[in-house]
Structure 1
Amino acid sequence: MNSDLIALTFSPQALLYQGLDIVIALLLLVLMRWVFGVWTRVDGNDQLSGKDNFAFGISIASSLLALSIILWSAAEKASSEDYLAQSIQMLVYGIVGILLIKVGRFVHDRLVLDRLDKREQILSRNVSIALVDCASSIAIAIMIRSVLLWTEGFDIHSGIAVLSGFVVTLAVMLVTTRLMERRFAEDNQNDSMQDVLVRGQVALAIQHGGLLLGTAFAVSAASQLLEYHPTAYVSNLLNWLFLAMLFTLLTFALAWAAKRLVLPGINLVREVDHQHNVGLASVEMALTMGMALLLLGLVS
């Protein structure tokens, strides 16, 4: 036998509990789908297949992907030799993940996108609002993932740390959105970015979505420099907030430089804000996320 090959052996008990983890994950995805329908108070099947509401589909897809990211984190974090304990951990993290995603979306709707009714816009087939909703859900999940992997153990202290990181997540998303709204107003005669999104500006939604996802990866990069102290609740929170904002601003600066170098001579304000150039907005999104991923790679 070739000595370079690594043989993987699994006991029947390990295979049984791995299968149980997969069943739990599938049931949690079904639960997320059900919770989404209860939350929106509509017939999801009718919206998806009867009315062919693309915006509704984008929104529910983001919820399922966000939960999958958190389940990925729970599976990666599980280190106990007790397979039953790992399955319980998967279940608990999944339920907590559903709650955090829903609370995060609720706070985002009421506090960040405070000038519009997201539910009404999505039911009215507004793809722009659905894209922003999609980006915010996935961004929240990515940031929660970074907190889950940062904590140690599975106890009340790690739970408080996760909640602290969740608060920081929402705070950073709020600051990010307000900074972009301020930039948009300055470049567009004090027009409201949220009002423009309501009018269906897809390019702006892609640009803003890239900013939210870039912010999520920047916060993940910040987590690489934080040392976990189980009982240092206040310092954990303040350190998270400081480093998250620092890496977010650094991502913005690098993205600004990258856009000037990669897209020389192109007026992005005119192309994206005025001419609704989806292609250039996609390039902006890629550069913003790329710079954040670069930072994440450098500090990992």
Structure 2
Amino acid sequence: MSNLFNITAINQEILIFLAIDVAVAIVLLTAMRFISGVSAKVNTKDELAKEDNFAFGISVAGSIAALGIVLSGAITGESAPSYQLEAIGMFAYGLFGLLLIKLGRFVHDKLALNKLNKMEQIRQRNITVGIVDAASVIATAIVIRAVLIWVDGLSIYTFVAIFSGFIVSQVMLVLVTRIRETHYARNNQHDSMQEAFVDGQIALALRYSGQIISTALAVTAASYFLIYSPETIIENLLGWLVFGMAMTVLVSLLTGFAKRIILFGINRFEEVDQQHNVGVAAIEMAISIAIAMILTGLMA
């Protein structure tokens, strides 16, 4: 009987921690919706319900999903010693993650997709750009989540480590975007991938989304090999960057091989780049993410 009371007490404590985490998460997720409206300089209610701007809806959905991914990293691990510290930690990590997601979108706009005005395209209902925007913030969130799980405790050093992981993710996403642009230009008579996004090529957006999300998953593999230490932040940053690059190359090679086998007999570049075949592009996206998840799972 005493064991039953102990189990009941433990379950009640877990439920309280769960209620705290869920409450903080809902507050932050709601805030993300309105912050997205402020960033786009629109009223979210009007844009979603009256104007029926699907591109804006996809962009907001990506932001909410990204914040949810980050918050799942904040929840993972042992509970705090008290309810107050749990609420403070959850809110602090969540708010910091929200800020990094917005900062990551800014970096992606200015450095990766620097030849188009992403927010203006979304306001003009460009679904292709909405998809790309959603994928970019989700990719950033995947790396932030991995770093949240990797660090230990709640101190200035953990926030420095999280920001370091964020920097690595942005460097890798910009590099991959430039490589993808070069490949696209080589296969399409030097056309611009960013101009293709502006022209509304959804198939191309899906393939690109798979590539940057798989890159983010590859970068997270560093958390399985590096041991967190507040005294070695610089070494950890370099370690994440080196592992991220190595894993990105490996994932890219394996993904290319898998696509040739799975899509045997199909000219992927012609179908996606020229005929805008959304079905083939969706399969490419799925293959990219699947290979990255399998490989990182094996690393774990």
TM-score range, shorter chain: over 0.9
Q: CA–CA distance in 2 between the matches of 1:11 and 1:251?
A: 41
The offset of 1:79, in angstroms, is 3.3
Once the 2 structures are TM-superposed, how far is the Cα of residue 233 of structure 1 from its aligned partner? Answer: 2.0
Tell me the residue number matched to 1:248: 248
1:4 aligned residue: none
Matched, 1:288 2:299: no
The residue identity in structure 2 corresponding to 1:249 is V
| Structure 2 match to 1:188 | 188
1:83 deviation in Å?
Answer: 2.5
The one-letter amino acid paired with 2:292 is A
Identical pairs, percent: 45
Residue 201 of structure 1 aligns with an amino acid whose one-letter code is Q
In the other structure, the counterpart of 1:18 is 18
Alignment pair present for 1:202 and 2:210: no
For 1:190-245, what per-residue CA distance to the aligned partner results, in whole angstroms no more than 9, with x for missing partners?
10000011000000000000001111111122321122121112211111100001
What is the CA–CA distance in structure 2 between the aligned matches of 1:196 and 1:229, rounded to whole Å? 44
Letter matched to residue 221 of structure 1: A
Does the CA-based 8 Å contact 2:70-2:141 persist in structure 1?
Answer: yes
Asked if 1:132 corresponds to 2:118, the answer is: no
Instruction: Kindly indicate which of the two structures has a greater share of residues assigned to helix.
Output: 2
Work out whether residues 70 and 94 of structure 1, in 8 Å CA contact, stay in contact via their aligned partners in 2: yes
Paired residue for 2:44?
44
Give 3-state SS (helix, strand or coil) of 1:232's partner.
helix
Distance 1:18 1:277 in 2: 44
CA distance in 2, matches of 1:169, 1:230: 20
SS at match of 1:264: coil
Q: Distance in 2 between matches of 1:37 and 1:123?
A: 11
Give runs of aligned pairs for residues 101-140 of structure 1, distance below 5 A.
101-140=101-140
Task: Show the counterpart of 2:159.
Answer: 159
Is the Cα contact below 8 Å between 2:136 and 2:212 reproduced in 1?
yes
* Residues 5-52 of structure 1 deviation map (CA, whole Å, 9 limit, x = unaligned): xx6643655534432222111111111112111111111111101011
C-alpha distance in 1 between matches for 2:223 and 2:253: 19
Aligned to 1:227: 227
Letter of the aligned partner of 1:271 in structure 2?
E
Preserved CA contact (<8 Å) 1:79 1:86: yes
Distance 1:8 1:257, change over 3 A: farther
Q: For residue 64 of structure 2, what is the aligned residue in structure 1?
A: 64
- Counterpart of 1:276 in structure 2 is 276
Say if 1:78 and 1:86, in contact at 8 Å, map to a contact too: no
Q: TM-score, normalised by structure 1?
A: 0.95
Distance in 1, Cα, partners of 2:134 & 2:116: 16
Counterparts of 2:128 and 2:14 in 1: how far apart (Å)?
45
Bigger drift between 35-44 and 268-277 goes to 35-44
Relative distance call for 1:8 and 1:177 in structure 2 (3 A) is farther
Q: Distance in 2 between matches of 1:206 and 1:269?
A: 13
Q: TM-score, normalised by structure 2?
A: 0.95
Moved more, 51-60 or 36-45: 36-45
Q: Give the direction of change, closer, same or farther, for the CA distance of 1:262–1:18 in structure 2 (3 Å limit).
A: closer
Aligned to 2:4: none
**Distance between the aligned counterparts of 1:147 and 1:50, measured in 2?**
39
Residue 8 to residue 210, structure 1, CA distance change in 2 (3 Å)? farther
Which residue identity is paired with 1:41? Answer: K
Whether 1:85 and 2:82 are equivalent positions in the alignment is no
Amino acid at match of 2:120: E
Q: Secondary structure at the match of 1:231?
A: helix
**In structure 2, how many angstroms separate the alpha carbons of the residues matched to 1:261 and 1:271?**
16
Q: Tell me, what secondary structure is at the counterpart of 2:231?
A: coil
Give the distance between the partners of 1:79 and 1:224, measured in 2 at CA. 22
Aligned-partner SS, 1:208? helix
Once the two structures are TM-superposed, the CA of residue 144 in structure 1 deviates from its matched residue by 0.4
**Distance (Å, rounded) in 2 between the aligned partners of 1:156 and 1:260:** 46
Aligned-partner residue type, residue 227 of structure 2: E
Q: Letter of the 1:64 partner, please give it.
A: I
- Alignment RMSD, CA only? 1.8
Change (3 A) 1:20 1:285: same
What is the distance in 2 between the residues matched to 1:83 and 1:295?
A: 37
Partner of 2:30: 30
